[in-house]
């Protein structure tokens, strides 16, 4: 196929997806939709495409790919609707609020025999991709300990119509925002087996769920880890990630133009002189996500961040939420592929 016809639902995050689609030679942005018609018309004009007047009109358009970039609670119904109409789907993270909801999408992917990808953009961020390659190349040996953090003050970003703080929706920030760090840890170190998590609610007191949490993690290979998530912390945005291995360490994030590595491969005196490696800063590398999905369609293979990977990350977060409620360590559900 020379060009895939693409439609985008939701034009806050979807605005970035529109840029990524516009840059791809094998993609054609055909239609966009957002309930905020002013936003929809602006994005449509910027990308020389059409803004649908309603969601029904959007779904009546002949498309190959639907990008679901709407608020979390809409991911399941909109993804399933797109799949049922024979569209391939890219869905923003998190895939859904619960593993049960994720399974609804998984069943639709199998039923309608289409491809599905979760937009876990950290896997496409240059610094984190470099860290992944260094680990796979054995530069720091076996992982002993890994930690990642996601903190981002949501006090002034409650979402369109305040959906992030809506008591009826009850979005859990630990999964909704923290899925970045949760998925990154799974990608770098593997799917966790057990977590112990504590949470509190001291920042966004008028929001319905806990705003801050920390989890200690066990992995099947004996590695241990930690993840810290806060959607209220009064500090700059951060996704600082540290990986300590048997032969060295990596310190990286998604906003710096360098990363630090302690490894004899780069510097024989690693205890004293860390090596700074240059990194291209691109923490919303949506073009590469679009490219990965289109390459997967062309090769007729599952994309790396498929529905099972998306479900696995939600399972990780769900176990953390359960542990915070019970005060006990909880097993992380294994997500078997079908």
Angle at 78 between CA 76 and CA 79, to 5 degrees: 65
Q: Which two tokens stand for residue 171?
A: 């979005």
Task: Answer yes or no: is 338 within a domain.
Answer: no
Q: What value does the mean pLDDT of the chain take?
A: 96
Task: Answer yes or no: is 147 within a domain.
Answer: yes
Same domain, 116 and 236: no
Q: Looking at residue 17, which CATH number applies to its domain?
A: 3.40.50.720
Same domain, 137 and 95: no
Q: Is 256 exposed, middle or buried (0-12, 13-18, 19+ CB in 10 A)?
A: middle
Query: Structurally, how many domains does the chain consist of?
Result: 2
CA–CA distances in Å: residue 179 to residues 2, 127, 231, 287, 314: 34, 18, 12, 20, 7
Q: Which two tokens stand for residue 10?
A: 């939701």
Which residue bears the tokens 């529905």? 307
Q: Is 149 exposed, middle or buried (0-12, 13-18, 19+ CB in 10 A)?
A: buried
Same domain, 23 and 91: yes
- Band (2; pLDDT cuts 50, 70, 90): low
Q: What is the pTM of this model?
A: 0.96
Q: Is 76 exposed, middle or buried (0-12, 13-18, 19+ CB in 10 A)?
A: buried
Task: Answer yes or no: is 309 within a domain.
Answer: no
Q: Are 261 and 248 in contact (CB under 8 A)?
A: yes
Position 317 pLDDT exceeds 60: yes
The pLDDT tens digits of the residues spanning 252-300 come to 999 999 999 998 777 766 566 789 999 999 988 999 999 999 999 999 9
The pLDDT tens digits of the residues spanning 25-36 come to 999 999 999 999
- Band (232; pLDDT cuts 50, 70, 90): very high
Average pLDDT over residues 225-242: 97
Same domain, 198 and 232: yes
Percent of the chain scoring above 70 in pLDDT? 98
Same domain, 322 and 202: yes
Predicted pLDDT at 338: 82
Tell me whether strands 65-68 and 88-92 are parallel, antiparallel or unpaired.
Answer: parallel
Task: Answer yes or no: is 146 within a domain.
Answer: yes
Interacting residues of 278 by C-beta distance below 8 A, sequence separation 6+: 257, 258
Expressed as residue numbers, the domain containing 202 is 123-280+315-331
Q: Is residue 218 classed as helix, strand or coil in its secondary structure? A: strand
Task: Answer yes or no: is 310 within a domain.
Answer: no
Same domain, 263 and 292: no
Interacting residues of 207 by C-beta distance below 8 A, sequence separation 6+: 164, 165, 173, 201
Task: Answer yes or no: is 337 within a domain.
Answer: no
Helix ranges restricted to H, 269-334: 286-299, 307-326
Q: For the CA atoms of 230, 311, 13, 257, what is the dihedral angle to 10 degrees?
A: 60
Task: Answer yes or no: is 59 within a domain.
Answer: yes
- Calpha distance 284→254 (Å, rounded): 9
Q: Are 109 and 314 in contact (CB under 8 A)?
A: no
Same domain, 199 and 56: no
């Amino acid at each position: 196929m020379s060009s895939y016809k693409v439609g985008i639902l939701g034009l806050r995050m979807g605005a970035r997806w529109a840029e990524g689609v516009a840059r791809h030679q094998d993609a054609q942005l055909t239609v966009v939709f957002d309930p905020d018609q002013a936003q929809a018309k602006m994005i449509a004009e910027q990308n020389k495409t059409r803004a649908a007047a309603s969601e029904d009109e959007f779904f009546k358009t002949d498309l190959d790919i639907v990008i679901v970039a709407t608020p979390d609670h809409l991911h399941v119904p909109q993804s399933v609707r797109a799949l049922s109409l024979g569209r391939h789907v890219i869905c923003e993270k998190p895939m859904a609020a619960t593993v049960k909801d994720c399974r609804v999408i998984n069943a639709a992917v199998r039923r309608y025999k289409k491809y599905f990808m979760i937009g876990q953009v950290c896997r496409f961020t240059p610094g984190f991709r470099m860290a992944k390659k260094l680990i796979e190349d054995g530069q720091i040996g076996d992982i002993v300990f890994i930690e990642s953090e996601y903190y981002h003050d949501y006090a002034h970003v409650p979402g369109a119509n305040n959906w992030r703080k809506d008591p009826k929706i009850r979005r859990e920030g630990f999964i909704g925002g923290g899925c970045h760090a949760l998925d990154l840890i799974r990608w770098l170190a593997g799917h966790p087996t057990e977590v112990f998590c504590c949470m509190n609610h001291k920042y966004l007191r008028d929001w319905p769920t806990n705003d801050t949490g920390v989890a200690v993690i066990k992995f099947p290979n004996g590695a241990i880890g930690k993840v810290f998530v806060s959607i209220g912390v009064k500090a700059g945005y951060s996704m600082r990630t540290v990986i300590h291995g048997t032969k060295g360490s990596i310190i990286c994030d998604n906003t710096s133009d360098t990363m630090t590595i302690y490894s004899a491969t780069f510097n024989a005196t690693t205890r004293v002189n860390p090596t700074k490696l240059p990194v291209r800063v691109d923490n919303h590398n949506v073009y590469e996500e679009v490219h990965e999905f289109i390459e997967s369609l062309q090769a007729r293979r599952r994309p790396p961040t498929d529905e099972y990977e998306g479900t696995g990350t939600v399972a990780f977060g769900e176990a953390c939420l359960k542990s915070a409620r019970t005060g006990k360590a909880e097993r992380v559900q294994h997500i078997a592929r079908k």
